[in-house]
Structure 1
């Protein structure tokens, strides 16, 4: 018996990192089917190959593109007819000190991390089952000040507010909404921060030293927390922000 037996799940941003690790955990916990999305077909094909299960489907979609979201939910509705679990995980990062931020930078990050999350959830509601679980990917950045991270951090603070409000909006349907906020996790997203390899290395070392465990986390460690929030193990948990961050938000 798995913790997610018989469930239909969607993971946006599921082609690598935390999303991919979560898809693998969902399969291990008996999910009936998991849909993963990403913007690059090649990365999605590699993810499906790595997961190696008949219970996974990949759909190329940009979370900030409303037509892509409509296409995605049409596919899920036709193939499965419902959705029990939504992990709104798609996101991008951005670094830029105040004084150098452009409107293009701002729009790009907010379109994916805020607009994308909003419409990913809203467009799911017609096929979402009562009593289901919605998990939003936040970040420790929403409550910690980091140099050159103000735009990204603001998007994740917005996501945290979404979870609080949607918990109330959806309470009559008994849909639980929670935020999962990772700290520094060894993903392609983290390794892509900075303008060059040396800058990225310094950034990661600074993050490591800010955790109680003095290390970055792994995608699997986050994925196991997502399984908890997606499953009945968290049946009396809603509206929270669960940090998987090596203690960074607490110290």
Structure 2
């Protein structure tokens, strides 16, 4: 059986659900050993069942420096090195800017920007030449979307961090790239606190405005992550959209 990732060691933050979980599944099926993090106890337990013995599942708050330090210790003890660091943990809230609170603003930036920054800082020393860091951003990291000003700001900062890390780590042979998904079919659709009605509307709008007229799958995002991780060996500082053409301003014929 073909095992293209045999012997590889990967860490995925936010790897217990959605796109992170799909990436972990693909890695394990390909022979890799994976450490995934998450906060929700139910998702952590479900990930243990889904991923099986090839995965280490760790309860970890993406915004907590103490948890990030503990993650680095765990990765060092269990793996010794990291071939792929996939920064996937993040939150989104649909909220007009006039309704944004200081607490909500701080939470979004803590999880979506502070956590990723210090995770890379703490885990990069474990990464050898030829390894890769892949960030999950969003097509919202450029342009403007109603109700997503704070989220877009965090993802724009994340994309900028990735460019800076790419410059700082290139001499060590570590590549850093960004995957920016559009509307993706995941359990939360990326908005954990949305109501069922809001999610239904999100699905309707996404299918309507995406040129390919559908949502993407978590597996399609995972394939983009793995391309950057192991195939795109002469690429760093790049951004790949996985959005059905949405970010390309395509105008398809009417259905």
Q: Which of 229, 237, 241 is the aligned partner of 1:243? A: 241
Distance 1:29 1:97 in 2: 42
Per the alignment, residue 36 of structure 2 pairs with 36
Distance 1:183 1:177 in 2: 20
CA contact (8 A) 1:95 1:149 kept: yes
CA contact (8 A) 1:92 1:189 kept: no
SS at 2:16's partner residue?
A: coil
Distance 1:171 1:192 in 2: 34
Distance 2:160 2:191 in 1: 27
CA offset at residue 75 of structure 1?
1.2
CA offset at residue 199 of structure 1?
2.7
Tell me whether 1:27 sits opposite 2:28 in the alignment: yes
After TM superposition, list the pairs within 5 Å mapping 1:9-158 onto structure 2.
9-31=10-32, 33-52=33-52, 54-158=53-157
Distance 1:151 1:66 in 2: 22
CA offset at residue 205 of structure 1?
1.3
CA contact (8 A) 2:14 2:38 kept: yes
Per the alignment, residue 8 of structure 1 pairs with 9
Consecutive unaligned residues of structure 2, counting only runs of 5 or more, are 250-255
Q: TM-score, length-normalised on structure 1?
A: 0.94
Moved more, 194-203 or 98-107: 194-203
Distance 1:34 1:99 in 2: 41
- Using a 3 Å threshold, how does the CA distance of structure 1 residues 66 and 247 change in structure 2: closer, same or farther? same
Q: TM-score, length-normalised on structure 2?
A: 0.93
Distance 2:128 2:203 in 1: 40
CA contact (8 A) 2:63 2:114 kept: yes
CA contact (8 A) 2:36 2:55 kept: yes
Consecutive unaligned residues of structure 1, counting only runs of 5 or more, are none
Which contiguous aligned blocks of 4+ residues in structure 1 show a shift greater than 3 angstroms?
A: 191-195
Moved more, 202-211 or 117-126: 202-211
CA offset at residue 204 of structure 1?
2.3
Q: Deviations over 1:94-136 (max 9, x none)?
A: 1211211111110011000000110111110221212210000
Q: Deviations over 1:163-216 (max 9, x none)?
A: 111111001101000001111001133164675322322222112212111111
